Structure 1
Amino acid sequence: MALKIRLQRHGASHRPFYRMVVTEAAARRDGRFVEILGTYEPQAKRSEEELKLKLDRVDYWKSVGAKPTDTAASLIRKARREAPAEKAEA
């Protein structure tokens, strides 16, 4: 069972909302998944609500062999860059 970390599209027309999920590589884009890792809303009103990921779960799934798609990998990198800034503010 080859696992992928990829995005599922939800939301209305012209108002996309994505879930980052772990799924089998052969599953349909919006089909069955193993776990939800977070959300991505490109048209969010506030930048804090745009990308929410559970980075500890992302690390776990990558350690057991899940491969992120190109888009998912870029969003994971973006979340890692923003994570230290949030901790410094608290």
Structure 2
Amino acid sequence: MLMIRLSRIGKKNKPIYRLIISEKNRDTYAPSLEILGSYNPYNKDLQANGERIKYWISKGAQMSPTVNNLLLSKAIINGKKVSASRSGIQKNVVLEIKPTQAQQTENQNKTA
């Protein structure tokens, strides 16, 4: 499946991203089918070839959530924003440890 996604370029601690189209399971540093534009997160500058993006979407290409939201904010495509959260990262998960039956009876005996 083809994906429109960001590929990081630029200097250390100063990223600039390319908007590329490539196979979903390929590395973003591998050669891509086409470079569709670039994005600079420091000045929020998005340069994209809207005609080519619409062409690839018509051919069945999918977009990453970040690319989808970027293109929506610059009015290149229409639709609604997608949640771009990372599913692998858990935020402040607090686990409750339930006391076993033996610990409960022991605690009751101590208080009595």
Answer yes or no: same fold by TM over 0.5: yes
Match of 2:21 in 1: 22
Q: Structure 1: 5+ residue runs without aligned partners?
A: 82-90
Q: Structure 2: 5+ residue runs without aligned partners?
A: 77-112
Q: Which sits farther off after the overlay, 23-32 or 4-13?
A: 23-32
Match of 2:101 in 1: none
Q: Which structure is larger by alpha-carbon Rg, 1 or 2?
A: 2
Higher RCO (C-alpha 8 Å, min separation 6): 1
1:45-84 equivalences under 5 Å are 50-80=45-75
Percent of residue pairs identical: 33
Instruction: Select the structure that is richer in helix.
Output: 1
SS at match of 1:61: helix
Query: Which 4+ runs in 1 deviate beyond 6 A?
Result: none
Q: TM-score, normalised by structure 2?
A: 0.64
Q: How many residues align?
A: 76
CA distance in 1, matches of 2:18, 2:73: 16
Instruction: Select the structure that is richer in strand.
Output: 1
RMSD: 1.3
Q: Which sits farther off after the overlay, 62-71 or 27-36?
A: 27-36
How far is 1:14 from its partner? 1.3
SS at match of 1:65: coil
